[in-house]
Structures are given as C-alpha cells and as structure tokens.
Structure 1
Amino acid sequence: MVRNVKVDVRNAINHGGVFYKIVNGSPVIEFQYVKNRKTQILHMPIYEFDELIDKSFAAAGAIILGLATFFNNHKNLFEVNLSEKLFIPFSLLALELSIPDARCRSISDIPNNKQINIDMYIKNTDRGYIHEMAIMVSLMVYDRYSDYDQYMIFFSNERLQSSWIRFTNTEVSQMLSDTENFDRVLKQVIDRGDSVVWSPSTEEMDLNEIKYFRFPNFKNETYSINHVEDASIEGRKRLKAHLYIGDIDTREEIIKNIRESIDWLKHLKNVPSPIFPVKNGKMEADSVYLNVYRKDTRKNKATIPSNKNFVCKVDYNIDGKTTLKHGGIGGKIWNQLSRETIDNLLIAWSSSRYRKITKKKIGRNDACSCGSGKKNKKSCLI
C-alpha cells in the first residue's frame, strides 16, 4: 500500500493544482505542488496515473476484503440492530441494495418518518430499467423500514442528469402484497409528478478530458483570479469566477482590473458537459460573471453590502444583454446594491461611493440600467 502512495501527487491534488494538458502530442496530467518552498511541476501520462490509481485501489480493496472476512468470521463480536434508523444499519442495507450494475451510495431519512432517501448510482440509464430498479429498491427498503410516509429513490450516472422517483407508503405496500399492479402504481406516480427521469446524453466527447479538466488560476502583482467555474448553457458560453483586488480603492483602478480580468477569462477554453449540451470550446465567452473581493479568505464571501470584503458583482455580456435575473442573487439583496451599466458591463457595487452618479434620471418607461431589456417599472424599480 505505501509503495503506491506518491506524496507529491497527493500534495498536488489536495493543496496545489491538477491540469489536463497535451504535451508533445500526448495527453498528460500536470501536477503542481510546493516542495522545499519551491513550486514543482510533474507531468504524468494518463495511463501511468490510471495504473497508480488501480494499484492503490487494489491495495485498499485487499485491506477491505481482509476486514470484511474478519468481521464475517467473528459476527459474535458485533451486534447491530438492523431495525434502527442509524448510519450503520443504513450502510448495511445499502450493501444489500448494491449489485454489479447498480450501487447504493447512501441512505438517509427525514425526521418523524416523513421520508427515506436512497441514492443509487447506475450503469444502465434506460428509462425502463430505472423504473424497474426504483420499484425493486422501494420494496426492499420497505421490507426493512415499513413506517415511512414516502420512499424517494435518486439515480445518477456520468451521462445522466439527476433523476428520481418517489412512492408513497400505501403504494409500496400494495405492490408488495400484490394488491396493485406495478405498472398501474408507476403510472399514477408519473401522472402526479413524483417521477423525474431524464434521457441520458449521447453526445460524443472525450470523457478523459472532462474527467481531468480544470480551469487555471491567474495572479499578478495587482490582482488574482480563482474559483473559475463553467456556467454555460446550450446556446451561450458563460464563465464565472472570483476576483481579488487587495487594497485598491479607486473606481477607475477597480474597473480597469475588472476589464483585464474579463479579457483573460473570456478566452479560456471550456469542455462539454457529459449530461446535457452546452456551448463549449475556445470561442470567446458570451458572458462572464465576477464576484469581486478584497482578500481571498476562507470566509467573508457573502455578496451583501455589510460584508466589508465584498466590492461588487460584475455581469459582462458580449451583446450587452444579461441572462441573469437580479444578478443571480435574491432580489431583496440585489436592490440593496448600487448598480450601473458601463458599455457591456453591469456592475452592482456594495457601496454607492464607487458608482458614478449621472444627472440623467431613468423614467418608469425607460429601459432599465441593469441591462435586463425590460422597462424600469417592470425591472429594478419593482
């Protein structure tokens, strides 16, 4: 086990950076970490990293198998009340629900026996299979815990949006006692909206690239950018990030840093989503959303006026038309921010002292300055 532990790789994963890159025409994983107070870079071919993971899993699997064998041979040392609604009984039931093509990842419940939740990972994403699996799981869980009002089964897969089916106690009881047909119960569940099962994505893509892809960070003497995320939709490439400007406190300098940050961010490549179609590639981003702070701290990330670390929210759109309502936050907080539009930037300042005051008054029927495209009386004036 110890032989297969690469400390440098572990440090890069936990504290440094991991990037998917093409080096000399071959895909590699780049690990960045600090050793002896110096930044180090390690390039590892994907097949070599996969072998490393496989060896680690094999060693861990051998240890788990040994422990499982010991526990199985010494059952008298352990007493577990399987009827209890605690972590260990739930975990043991999760093992019983797991088969080669479907794995129960967790079981939890809502107090007062309102609902039990079963989280299943599945390989087969066929809708009919999911329905059959939901019925089978609900029956097995009901056989152990028959006093919940509802039985909620979640399904996930790399190519499937989160799907779920929920049965009532009466429905599961009827199916178990054969007093009601499975198909009829399933139909009434679907008809009342207690079933959301998506079709899987079939778009061709490099799943290895998606698996190892990570956006880079940026830092210079003036500001830094991190926490870059993809928020793209089918017809629009959208990126969001955090910008840290330190002690800069003049409006002009802040806006200059915002513009430079957007120029860097909007040219970043994003990768496809494995579960639904999104606009992706090296083309310029249609939208960039920034949360601007002073310091990069673990806390103090709330986008509210009372947070002294928060400077502003920025909504950049290539066509000047925002796709976010109230900047993506609650309308009550949004209305507390001091907003202005500069070209194709909508900036919502935490303090009005940064906003440039103009003499022109926006009428009720004029276009709102937030860029929503609506009249002022139907947008921010509300």
Structure 2
Amino acid sequence: MIAILFSAAIMIAAVVFSFYNAEKSSKLYVWNKGHLLRFTFIFGVLEILTFFTGYIPKALIPISLFAVLLSILSDGFCALLCLVLLVSYYGILNPTDALTSACLLLGGAVSVAAFSEVELTGDLRPRIIAFMCGDFICSGLAFISHSGEGMLTFMLLSLIRVIASGFIVFAVLKVMADRYFFEDRDFYEEICDPENEYLMAMESASKAAYNRALHDAYLSEKLAEAMGYDVLFVKAGAYYLNAKKYELFNGVKLPVRFKRLLSLLWNNERDVSDDKNYDMMLKKQAALIRFTDMYIMAVLYSFKKNGNATPEYGKLTEVVVKKKIKEGDKLFTLFSLNELNKLKAACKAEKKYYEFLRRQ
C-alpha cells in the first residue's frame, strides 16, 4: 500500500509539473494561463470520482469524459499523464480486469487526440462527434470483458453515457468560449465605432491612416463573414492594423485575446506555430486582416497602373497569398483550400466596393 501511495504521489507531482512546464513554455491553451489551482482542484475531484467507478456498471465508467475535460483545461501531454493515473487507479481497484483498463486507456487517448488542438471560436461539432464515436467504439471493445449485463443493455448504457458526455463537453466548451472569447463584445463594439476616441485620435494624427483603417475594416468584415470567423473581432483588429505608431492604447487595459491579435499584427510575427498563446483561429484571423490590407493596396495599385482596367479579383487573391508565403509569412499557409476558395469568392463579390475605391 505504501508503494502504491508513493507511486501515486510521484504521478500527481508529474502532472502538476507538466502543467507548470506547459505554461512556462507557452504550450497551454490561452484560457488556462494562470489557472494551475483550478486544474489541480478539478483533477483532484476527478481522482476521487474514479475511486467509485468500481461500483457502477462498466458501460457507465466516464474515463473518456474525464480525459477530455482535463485536455480542455490543460494540454494534450498533461491530459495523457492524468489519464494514465486515473486508469491506474481503476486497475488497482480492479486487478483482475486488465482488459477493461486497456479499453479505458485507449478510449481516453482517442478522446484526448480529438481535442488536441481545440479552437473555442471554431465549429466544435466535428470534434465532439469524433470524441463520441471513438468513445462508443472503445465501449464495444470493453464489452468483451464485461460480465453481468447482456450485450443490448451494455451498449444501451454505453450510448447513454456517450451522449451525456457529449452534452457535458459541449456545455463546458460553451462556457469557456463565452467567458474567454465573447465577454468583451461591448469593448469591441465601442472601438469599432468610426467616431470613437481612438479612431478620432488616429484621424487627428493622420487622415490617410484613418481612411485606410476604414477600408481595412469594411473589407475585413465582409471576408470574415464569408469565412465564418468572428466578424466583430476581425473588424476591430482591422481598424487598428496600422495604428501602432499612434500609441492609441497607452494605459488602456485591453482584452487578452485582442492584445495578442495586435501583437501578431503590429510585430509582424510570421511563425508562432508552437506558441499556444496564439491559437489557430487567432492566427488565421490575423492572416486575414493582413491579407485584406495588402489586397486593397494591390487593387489600388492596379487602378493606378490602368484606371480603366478591371482586375481579375480572384487571381489577385492568389497573387497576394502566394507573395506573403514567399516572403516567409507562415500564417498564410494556415488557410485550407476550402477557405482560400471562400476568400476568392468573397473578394470577387465586392465589385461595387472596388468601383468605389476606383473613384477615391
């Protein structure tokens, strides 16, 4: 017993250290920064619940759900360590049931993989469905070792657990998204007002910069809507893409996510692929804003070169993206082929706006 407790203490210390190390190396999801105590508390609660899994039907053991929750609240490696520890507890309590332990470990690993790069602002349904399907399949494997229930009862209980787990995961992700990404909507609406104090200060400093910000914001809004991105957030970033030198936000406490977007835009960071301070959606939004600014400049240049010509706007989209990639801007490699097609279609659809630009 002493050896078991000592081993458990070492594993718990390893879990806490992995969280701390992930935070220091910027591998944690951004919404978990500074929340070691929250993670430790929830992990402790799940540990206690795991000790009672030996008293419920095997089909209802929610280890995969625990693994997903821990993955959302930390990172993949930390969640896997937690999973190994939780399954070890089950194995200690049920030493003759090695096959079930193996199935729980497999199901948990599949679940962690499904949420390895979760984006709270993206479409969560494919990940949740993948998690539920993987969990249900692993439940089928666990049926081999079950005793006491018929196959129909076992699979029905498994289905109930998987569906309940899916709803719980969705609810947790929704709460995290609302708390981290959408609680600052009033601020974004305020700074997107063309007559707010920050844009008025920009106009006073440079009328040209103000007009450019208006154009960037308009087209970014249209493209973000077509791409399925957070329209208000992208529009806010586009307004202040070229505002660094005007020091508009000195002394202003900005939302963390918006501050990181400005860091990507103002510092021209091109490769943050391993830094989870910048999630995938944030990088794509920054790339879209940069694209919009460069695309407008390309359209204006084509008008200046030949005022009567009508550029091939779809082809111009490809030229701008390829140019940025050639310059070494890896953010532009994040767009999928489907997103690039949406981008081209959205650019083509703004012909009336381009005619307005032509008259400027």
Report the TM-score range of the alignment, normalised by the length of the smaller protein.
under 0.3
- Flag the structure with larger Rg: 1
TM-score by length of 1: 0.26
TM-score by length of 2: 0.27
Instruction: Say which structure, 1 or 2, has more relative contact order (CA 8 Å, 6+ apart).
Output: 2
- Structure with a larger share of its residues in strand: 1
- Structure with a larger share of its residues in helix: 2
